Structure 1
Amino acid sequence: MGSRNSYKLFTILLIIMTIGYSIVALYQLGSRVAPETFWRPLQAEETITIDFGEIKKFHSIRYFGGIGDGQYLFELSTDNHSWQEKLNLNFHGIFDIYVWKDAVLDGEGRFVRITVLQPGGRMYEIGFLGPDGKEIIPIQNIIQSTTPAHLEGNAQRIADETNTIPELPSFLNGMYFDEIYFARTAFEHLHRMEPYDSVQPFFAKILLSLGIATFGMNPFGWRIVGTLFGIAMIPLIYYFGLQLFKKPFYAFIGAFLLTFDFMHFSHSRIATIEVYMVFFILCSYYCMLLFYQRSFYEYPLKKLLIPLFLSGLFYGCASASKLNGIYSGGGLAFIFLTTLLRNYRVHLKIKREYQDFNNQDFTSNSSNSVMVFPHYTKRIILWCLLFFIVIPLTVYALSFIPLLLVPNRGHSFHDLVQYQINMYNYHRNLKATHGYSSPWWQWPLLIRPIWMYQGQGLPEGKIASISSMGNPAI
């Protein structure tokens, strides 16, 4: 009775802790508001003239760009005849995407003329800030030098969602760190565009795109699915520990430590791919643990194969999420071989007993038991060729379906093979470092946590920063 009450108590505590973590993880995850329409000029020297109705003083512009490089010249005029060059804006379609940025536009005038120097970039929204750098100056009219040949060429779109312009650009209303690669690629998968990130398989980004498809291309949309995976990891760790230790107290300790781990928290709330890989690795090891704990002499073959099948499936999902997941197969193989060795020792013991007592008390039963290990082992190994080679490779290959769906490019099986070669060469030859990196041995010592975000434009005396590190208390 006491044991049953203990299970019930820790299950209730787990539910409370998971709900508490969910509230914190979902709090200020990101805005659900972001510009949706964009202007994409296709011709150089195209101009638009923005009329503010009367002479205004300008401090800066606040703009939100998307995929594609662009360069724009901003000029001011009081009379729509004489112009002063004020800003040459180079928009980088990789590092400047889906984030609000400011650029100085110091001067006064009634008209602003924007000349396209490099076409092709997507400009979602532009806000013109008054002398205090906060007030959005209302636009009266936008005059385009050419008649747009397509909807995306309509310059009116840069000022049709002014309600989305934030008072302060931050991680809450834009991308930060590696979101510029992974969330962008998830968006491209949805819209059958050529994917930017080609150095990792696509499965995690397909999962990430589900949030974008549901909530839109905004910070909440591209972060929510990873956050839900991070939340699900807490009960997963609990039941992993329960299966491992058979005591709910120790299982709860494991879930408690994960709940308050900083790295788990920060990586669950950013639209990158690590959280998916780790989740599926945990699932694959949990299933392999079930296989490890089941004796060949107590379970039918079917109940031994089911956890192996699931382990292989989750292993394929982990590997198709990020290439690092492939390495988890080494641990799975070790546990698998250890399980075979343990059952082989039982087999030898039964075989000796059978030889010692042959034609005596339990000849028939012993004879059947002696045959269990070779009978099971042959079949298990054959099935594992399917579970841990064919199925993972199939999952991995299927993750590249978005590439085959890109129109006009004509991607083929040869392209898929070339993708794998390119990924291998990229990671093999990668020598790039950055100011936030640290050697592997420093990670558990928390000497140099990875720095993901630094707030800009904050009031004096305030800072905003996001780092990924373990919890020193843990």
Structure 2
Amino acid sequence: MSQPPHHPADPICWHIVITALFAVLACVRLTIPSGPMFDEVHYMPAARNLLALSDAVNLEHPPLGKELIALGMLLFGDEPLGWRIMPLLFGILALFGAVRAMWFLSLSRAASLLTGLFLVTGFPLLLQARIAMLDVFMLSFVMLGLWQCAGAYREPETARWRLALGGAALGLAMAAKWNAIPIAMLPGLAFFIARAWQGRAHFLTSNRGWPIGGMTLAEAALWLAVVPLLAYAATYWPFPFYATVPGNPTGLIALHRQMLDLQTQVLPPHPYQSQWWQWASNTRAIWYLYEVTDGAQRGVLMMGNPLSSLAALPALLWCGWAWWKQGRRDCAALLVLYLVSMALWVLAPKPVQFYYHYVLPHCFAMAALALGVEKLWQNGERLTPAAIVLGSTGVFVWFYPILTAAPLAGEQAFLDYAWLVGWR
């Protein structure tokens, strides 16, 4: 008799452990600097005005991220802990969502744990979890949405409530930042393509077949199209209550036209602006902070881990090969997610872009690296996987002071970390 298929045990306890480790690392010196750094100067005033319902500002971005920052300020005060507590919590949630999504996508314990390791040591997630900006909220809801969509695929008996939660999370991701829009469209589009590809005569009404048996295309559209839009629209609740909304837009459509105009306006050049190829090659960084503050010279450097960021590029190429030659759906999903999230910045008419726009593609790149390292190990390779894992961890340990605003030796201490001209 044939053996039953192997079903690896869910490593949720290890996922909790690695998430807790990340929480500890992200909490260190969370309230330093004691003043705003980098783009906090844009979002903190928007949150203050929201609490006062005075003037709506920072209209170029949707409101959810600013509402969450305002919630932190309401609970913990208008001070560093209040500004950064919600980014911290959602950064922690983003990591947990990412490893859970990777588990359901790949059913590989090793790949899900390696994804967590590379995200913890990869720099961008840690940095965005420690600053009052919008990207970490978008990232967190994207990962929660993908987790639930992947779970619905693996466990069809839970598909309805998972897709309802996943759709709501993807709608909230768009409400945090528009970067999430291309990713939020993918689950519904994938469902449609999968059903159409199977060629059933009545695929529009059939509830049979991949990716989720027992669910029609119409029901999937409810969870993956209608629910996200409703969740997105609900986050605009403060606008009727603001004392002043610049431009006096009459309704959501007019407001969105104004937001789009602000997004595509021509801005003056910024010393830290960069292009998408510089993000992938990790050759252009941002100094969120470098000054004497809180009694010492301190810095916060936004970039990717010099080892894992570059190692992820051949891993992404391998994912494409494994998809083509071996039909691996996990590799296909990660490559598509990476390319779609990058394509936004290749095609978007936004003239000034920054490395932090790479946070979402970077997460998919780290997951691809996890699959690549696992495959090397399965093939009997030992040196290369060990070098990537231990090397990335060692680089993270070296850079940790400059990621968390630790006291530095002096004004020229940045040279210990700014190895390339583009990192200065």
TM bracket (short chain)? 0.5 to 0.7
CA-based RMSD of the aligned residues comes to 3.4
- Per-residue CA deviation, residues 163-184 of structure 1 (Å, 9 max, x unaligned), is xxxxxxxx52111111111122
Counterpart selection for 2:301 from 457, 464, 467: 467
Q: 1:193/1:248 Cα in 2 relative to 1: closer, same or farther (>3 Å)? A: same
Q: TM-score when scaled to structure 1?
A: 0.56
> Which letter maps to 2:27?
L
Paired residues of 2:149 and 2:162 also in contact (CA < 8 A): yes
Unaligned runs of 5+ in 2: 309-424
Alignment partner, residue 75 of structure 1: none
Alignment partner, residue 181 of structure 2: 326
| SS of structure 1 residue aligned to 2:283 | coil
- Per-residue CA deviation, residues 427-466 of structure 1 (Å, 9 max, x unaligned), is 233344310111110112111112211213798xx74221
Cα drift, residue 426 of structure 1? 1.8
Cα drift, residue 391 of structure 1? 2.5
Paired residues of 1:404 and 1:412 also in contact (CA < 8 A): no
Which structure has more strand as a fraction of its residues?
Answer: 1
Cα drift, residue 411 of structure 1? 9.9
Q: Distance in 2 between matches of 1:277 and 1:256?
A: 21
Q: 1:221/1:203 Cα in 2 relative to 1: closer, same or farther (>3 Å)? A: same
Of structures 1 and 2, the larger Rg is shown by 1
Are positions 1:316 and 2:317 aligned together? no
Alignment partner, residue 351 of structure 1: none
| SS of structure 1 residue aligned to 2:89 | helix
Alignment partner, residue 358 of structure 1: none
Cα drift, residue 340 of structure 1? 2.0
Cα drift, residue 247 of structure 1? 2.5
| SS of structure 2 residue aligned to 1:466 | strand
Q: Distance in 2 between matches of 1:321 and 1:371?
A: 33
> Which letter maps to 1:196?
V
Are positions 1:218 and 2:79 aligned together? yes
Pairing 1:94-173 to 2, within 5 Å after superposition: 171-173=32-34
Percent identity of paired positions between Structure 1 and Structure 2: 23
Are positions 1:429 and 2:290 aligned together? no
Are positions 1:233 and 2:98 aligned together? no
Cα drift, residue 310 of structure 1? 2.2
Counterpart selection for 1:189 from 11, 35, 50: 50
Pairing 1:297-446 to 2, within 5 Å after superposition: 299=156, 303-341=158-196, 344=198, 372=208, 380-407=216-243, 414-446=250-282
Pairing 1:50-89 to 2, within 5 Å after superposition: none
Paired residues of 2:43 and 2:66 also in contact (CA < 8 A): yes
Q: 1:304/1:471 Cα in 2 relative to 1: closer, same or farther (>3 Å)? A: same
- Per-residue CA deviation, residues 212-253 of structure 1 (Å, 9 max, x unaligned), is 011000011010111111112222222222212212222111
Out of 332-341 and 431-440, give the one that drifted further.
Answer: 332-341
Out of 264-273 and 406-415, give the one that drifted further.
Answer: 406-415
Q: Distance in 2 between matches of 1:249 and 1:405?
A: 49
Q: 1:12/1:316 Cα in 2 relative to 1: closer, same or farther (>3 Å)? A: closer
> Which letter maps to 1:470?
G
| SS of structure 1 residue aligned to 2:264 | helix
Unaligned runs of 5+ in 1: 31-170, 349-369
Q: Distance in 2 between matches of 1:422 and 1:242?
A: 41
Alignment partner, residue 376 of structure 2: none
Q: Distance in 1 between matches of 2:268 and 2:226?
A: 34
| SS of structure 1 residue aligned to 2:287 | strand
> Which letter maps to 2:231?
V
Paired residues of 1:229 and 1:279 also in contact (CA < 8 A): yes
Out of 188-197 and 267-276, give the one that drifted further.
Answer: 188-197
| SS of structure 2 residue aligned to 1:404 | helix
> Which letter maps to 2:24?
I
Instruction: Determine which structure has greater relative contact order: mean sequence separation of CA pairs < 8 Å that are 6+ residues apart, divided by chain length.
Output: 2
Alignment partner, residue 132 of structure 1: none
Q: 1:371/1:237 Cα in 2 relative to 1: closer, same or farther (>3 Å)? A: closer
Counterpart selection for 1:257 from 93, 106, 118: 118
- Per-residue CA deviation, residues 362-406 of structure 1 (Å, 9 max, x unaligned), is xxxxxxxx98459x9997332344334433232222212222112
> Which letter maps to 1:442?
Q
Q: Distance in 2 between matches of 1:196 and 1:430?
A: 18
Q: Distance in 1 between matches of 2:140 and 2:257?
A: 27
Cα drift, residue 12 of structure 1? 4.7
Alignment partner, residue 21 of structure 1: 22
Q: 1:236/1:388 Cα in 2 relative to 1: closer, same or farther (>3 Å)? A: closer
Cα drift, residue 205 of structure 1? 1.2
Alignment partner, residue 129 of structure 2: 268
- Per-residue CA deviation, residues 139-189 of structure 1 (Å, 9 max, x unaligned), is xxxxxxxxxxxxxxxxxxxxxxxxxxxxxxxx5211111111112211211
Alignment partner, residue 150 of structure 1: none
Q: Distance in 2 between matches of 1:396 and 1:290?
A: 22
Q: Distance in 2 between matches of 1:20 and 1:338?
A: 39
Cα drift, residue 408 of structure 1? 6.9
Which structure has more helix as a fraction of its residues?
Answer: 2
